Amino acid sequence: MTTYYDLYDSPVGELLFLSDGTALTDLHMTAGKYVPASSGHWQRNSALTVFEQTKRELDAYFAGKLRGFTVPLAPRGTEFQKRAWIALTKIPFGETRTYGQQAHAMGQPTAVRAVGAANGKNPIGIIVPCHRVIGANGTLTGYAGGLHNKAFLLKLEGIL
């Protein structure tokens, strides 16, 4: 199976997009943690429709003109991780939640650490907004793209 990729220069650094040809499967800050290693099956395709849509939506988001993304997503992970990532997409633009609130929203209030681990493995940063999750005491905690980028995104959304 071919995986398509493209790169995008953003205000938070270079972003790597991956796709199965139909949906976005990954969006990573290339200077962050958990960036997948290049594979011999990767093929660059800047004109792929899903990449063009992702770029348009990110351009609008970074310009302060977009509050919600519509690009089709297909993240790969465990069932628990996918549930955690779906919960992230329900956090409204300009709002934050704690890991405990996210776990409670998932119906698993004691799974706070597991939620944190799942968020850390979020393969579609920014669009699946794990940057909106903060520590119980209101501090910025863990972000694979770096806390400075988490702060940037929260400021962009008017939170900080």
Q: Which residues are catalytic?
A: 130
Burial 52-84 (b: 16+ CB within 10 A, else e): eebbebbeebbeeeeeebebebebeeeeebebb
Residues ≥6 apart with Cβ < 8 Å to 64? 156
CA 144 to chain centre: 10
Pairing of strands 97-98, 42-44: unpaired
* E strand or H helix at 19: strand 13-19
